[in-house]
Amino acid sequence: MKVAFIVGEESGDRIGADLIRGLRRLDPDLEVTGLGGPAMQDEGLTSLFDIGELSIIGVGAIIARLPQLLRRLAQATRHVIAERPDALVIIDSPTFSHRVAKRVRQAAPEIAIVNYVPPTVWAWRPERAAAMRPYVDHAVCVFPFEPALMAKLGGPPSTYVGHPLMSEPHLADLMARAGRDVPPRHPATPPTLLILPGSRRGEIARLLADFGATLALVKQRVPDVEAVLPAVERLRPAIEAEVANWPVKPRLVSGAEAKWQAFGEADAALAASGTVSLELALAGVPMALAYKLDPIGYRLRHLISGWTAALPNYIAGHPLVPEHFHEFVRPEHLARRLERLLADTPERRAQIEGFAGIRRAMAVEHRPGDLAAAVVLKTVKDRRAGRSRI
């Protein structure tokens, strides 16, 4: 079997590599082609180009690089059509990957198309679910609430396979520890606050100053607090330059090992809203979230239809984790919120109890890559049999 991939981000690259391993367990002679990152290349994929070219965020950034994106879109589409794979798997990056999928469906309708990590129709533009049906045969979901929502919105058939985070060994250890009856933090132990301003340059630029001011106020209210900031290696120089001006300086760490160690030591976190909120929830770390859109994205905020932007809240089904956006990213407010989360309070206990429910809701019996591989294989068989839907 030959499978083509269109993957545009580092997180999707890890998912794609896990899926390739799952597919190889079903078909040792698997051939892979298309677009992916280092993890997928380690599994035998020769990428069309560096996926870093597609790792952009915000409407403004997309507009600025539109000519380059259009050239890469045409290149990726031509490649998939020429290769004539049994299946095309598009992972995340819907602005790019779905345009490839639409063109491939028109030119080569015999190719089965699977969307692993479908668009966040639960957060904004829910009409995208129904729009996917003509060119996506099956959606492979990483959140347990998505299949039912896809059906409700008229989207393609969908299957929940578990989130890739559930297979991360360090996080699995933290989840196991969080699942045990661990006594509350001893009041004599200095509390540790995680500072997580994001993994993209724009996010960090918009949030770091407010996070620094918040930490200074937390230090006034909780004098023995210790702060740790796990920094993405490529952005560490910019973070160090900003943190040098903070009145209270956190300890900066880099690398996966150091990051997960910091998660294990943390009593609470101040984080940019995103996937890290789910990592914190699975690890059992209470949090307050903040976010600021880029100027163009802010003007389009009326398109957001979801009742929350926090993944833990969607999975829990209620406002478990507090969110703060734009003018509500107020250090005085955040500091008071974090003070409550650093101590043994009802707010802290409510989050920890809610996180236990999230871990139960997301649990699966097999590795996500193996479950997703079975979906891809069945989709191929059904497409070959002349049926366009599972």
Percent of the chain with pLDDT over 70: 92
**Which residues are 5's β-sheet partners?**
34, 89
Segment 330-383, tens digit of pLDDT:
999 999 999 999 999 999 999 999 999 999 999 998 999 999 999 999 999 999
Instruction: Give the position of tokens 């028109």.
Output: 106
Please say if the pLDDT value at position 101 is more than 80: yes
Mean pLDDT (whole number) for 293-315: 78
Q: Quote the crossing angle between the two packed helices 256-265 and 275-283, to the nearest 10°.
A: 50
Spatial strand order of the sheet with 287-291 comes to: 251-253, 226-230, 192-196, 268-272, 287-291, 323-325
CB atoms within 10 A of CB 235: 18
Distance CA 320, CA 353 (A): 10
- Domain edges within the chain: 2-162+364-384, 169-362
Residues 6+ apart with CB under 8 A from 102: 134, 135
Say if residues 191 and 222 touch (Cβ distance below 8 Å): yes
| Secondary structure of residue 289 in the 3-state scheme | strand
Distance CA 193, CA 280 (A): 12
pLDDT at 302: 67
Segment 263-303, tens digit of pLDDT:
999 999 999 988 899 999 999 999 999 998 766 776 766 66
pLDDT at 171: 86
Say if residues 173 and 192 touch (Cβ distance below 8 Å): no
One-letter amino acid for residue 109 of the chain: P
Radius of gyration of the chain (CA): 22
Alpha helices in the chain (DSSP H): 10-26, 38-41, 59-64, 66-83, 94-107, 128-132, 146-152, 169-179, 201-221, 236-243, 256-265, 275-283, 295-299, 311-316, 331-342, 346-362, 368-384
Distance CA 318, CA 312 (A): 9
Please say if the pLDDT value at position 388 is more than 50: no
Query: Is 117 exposed, middle or buried, given 0-12, 13-18 or 19+ CB atoms closer than 10 A?
Result: buried
Binning pLDDT at 50, 70 and 90, where does residue 254 land?
A: very high
Domain 2-162+364-384 and domain 169-362, same fold? Reply is yes
| Tokens describing residue 218 | 């937390």
Segment 183-226, tens digit of pLDDT:
455 566 899 999 999 877 888 889 999 999 999 999 999 999 99
Binning pLDDT at 50, 70 and 90, where does residue 114 land?
A: very high
Say if residues 277 and 271 touch (Cβ distance below 8 Å): yes
CB atoms within 10 A of CB 23: 24
End-to-end CA distance of the chain: 19
pLDDT at 277: 95
Task: Please state the separation of Cα 102 from the chain's center in Å.
Answer: 24
- Whole-model pTM: value is 0.82
Q: Which residue has the higher pLDDT, 377 or 8?
A: 377
Segment 10-38, tens digit of pLDDT:
889 999 999 999 999 999 999 999 999 99
Distance CA 69, CA 4 (A): 19
Say if residues 324 and 386 touch (Cβ distance below 8 Å): no
Mean pLDDT (whole number) for 131-154: 97
Q: Which residue has the higher pLDDT, 18 or 304?
A: 18
Say if residues 242 and 208 touch (Cβ distance below 8 Å): yes
Say if residues 239 and 231 touch (Cβ distance below 8 Å): yes
Mean pLDDT of the chain: 90
Segment 68-90, tens digit of pLDDT:
889 999 999 999 999 999 999 99
Which of 105-114, 165-174, 324-333, 381-390 shows the highest mean pLDDT?
A: 105-114
Any idea which fold 169-362 has? Rossmann fold (3.40.50)
Any idea which fold 2-162+364-384 has? Rossmann fold (3.40.50)
Distance CA 373, CA 25 (A): 9
pLDDT at 186: 57
CB atoms within 10 A of CB 134: 12
